[in-house]
Each structure stands twice: as structure tokens, then as C-alpha cells.
Amino acid sequence: MTRTEDKDFRRVTDNETAGQSEPSTYKYSYEEPPISMLHENAPYYGMQEDDTIHTLEDYYALPDAKRVELIDGRFFEMTAPRAIHQAVQMKLANRFENYRRTKKGGKDCQVFPAPFDVQLDRDQYTMLEPDISIICDRDKIQGFGCYGAPDMIVEILSISTRSKDMYTKLSKYKNAGVREYWMVDPLKKKVIVYHFENGDEIALYGFDAKIPVGISGGELVIDFAEIYDEIRYLYD
């Protein structure tokens, strides 16, 4: 089974081409990146080596078992996340969802953990899968996923994705209109928060911090010390 079966439920642009049933040939390269938190000299991640420009038709023609992101016409392979990645993702998503369910101000926002497709640029060349997407405009939520920029995105950094999340996706999210972007680094026990609505405002926190969520007006605060206590066994 391929993703093609789902394509009738997604939004596409008027200039999108159709009729291509099989994806073009592509292959991946991978090198382990340096682990510097705030600066890396060059991007390293699982990405196609050739210069073929792919579209959503190619993306939806891939087998379901092949997990990739499509960024500006290029495929980026997604490997299976490790236990600590999944644990952080689940605990954060649960806290966002609990706030949404119990607080009047959060009820218009919907929380979607990965796997969840985001057609960020509303074109045929990009389809992302953020670890957590929070969307407050329900018109953007389509059958396939999100058409346009979520209000807030959280990415959990890993060895294979950190450069992509810290550079490629950072630029894409900012330019598309994402209001707030969190990068959570379990390895270094750090959280980088970008408040794009306030220019290039950046905040850096440790796993002992209480971090206010900007799109909630600071009403929701994520206690990372509490989360760390819940996942500490994964560091043993």
C-alpha cells in the first residue's frame, strides 16, 4: 500500500502536476553530525544525493513503510525514533492536550503528535512531519493533516535530525509563519525556544526549568524538571 491512496484527502495547489504513479529514483547519504548545541559548521542528515526535484505526487507514491519528509523538492529520510525521543514527545503532547481540554483559552487549538503531515508552504514541494504540531486555526486542518503553518511546533532533536531541525526546518518554520518553535535536546538536556512573533527572540532553558508557552500568553507552563523525573530512568 502506498500513500497515493490518501492523496484525495489532501489540499494541493492549482499548478500541481498529476499522473506520476511511481517516485523518481533516489538514494540517501548519512554522516553523524557534531553535537554542538548552538552551532554546527554544516548540515548532516539522511538526504537524497541526487538533484531530482520531487513533488507531492512522488511523496504519496512512496510505500507507507518509507518515512521521509519532502523539503523544497528533496527527500529526507526519517529513521525510527529512540525511546527517549518518544517519551519526551508523549509527555509534552499530553501536557499540551490537558491544557487544551481544561482551559477555555486553549480549546480552539488542536494538538497533533507525529506522525502528522504538514503541507507547510501550501505548495507541491514540501511536506513535513513535526514531532508536535499545535494548530489554532481549524480551517488549516484537512483530512491529510495541516495545510499551512501550525501556530506552534516542537521538534525533539536526535543525532540523525538535529542539523535539519536546527537549520533547514528553523528557516522554513519562521518564513512560513509559525509563531513559536521549540527544539528539545534530550542529549544535552536543553530546550531552545524561538518566539517568531517577537522578531528573533530566543530563550535557552535546561531540563530543570519551567518554560512558559508563548501562544498561551504564558498561562501554560511546562515543568521540565517534572518531565525529567519521569524519564530519568532512560539515562541510566
Domain boundaries, the chain: 83-235
The DSSP element (H or E) to which 119 belongs, if any, is strand 117-119
| Tens-digit pLDDT string for the chain (236 aa) | 455 445 444 444 444 434 443 333 333 233 333 333 333 333 333 455 568 899 999 999 998 888 899 999 999 988 888 999 999 999 999 999 999 988 766 678 999 999 999 999 999 999 999 999 999 999 999 999 999 999 999 999 988 888 889 999 999 999 999 999 999 999 999 999 999 998 878 999 999 999 999 999 999 999 999 999 999 999 98
pTM: 0.81
Whole-number pLDDT of residue 88: 97
Q: Is residue 130 within 8 Å of residue 114, measured between CB atoms?
A: yes
pLDDT of residue 204: 97
pLDDT for 202 equals 95
Identity at 57, one-letter amino acid code: E
- Residue 169 grid coordinates: 526546518
pLDDT of residue 213: 96
Q: Residue with C-alpha cell 535536546?
A: 185
Contacts 24+ apart (CB under 8 A), 140-145: 141/110, 142/9, 142/10, 142/11, 143/6, 143/9, 143/10, 144/6, 144/7, 144/9, 144/10, 144/11, 144/117, 144/119, 145/10, 145/112, 145/116, 145/117, 145/118, 145/119
CB 116, CB 145: distance < 8 Å:
yes
- Which CATH topology does 83-235 take? tt1808, chain A (3.90.1570)
Predicted pLDDT of residue 24: 35
Cβ atoms < 10 Å from Cβ of 203: 14
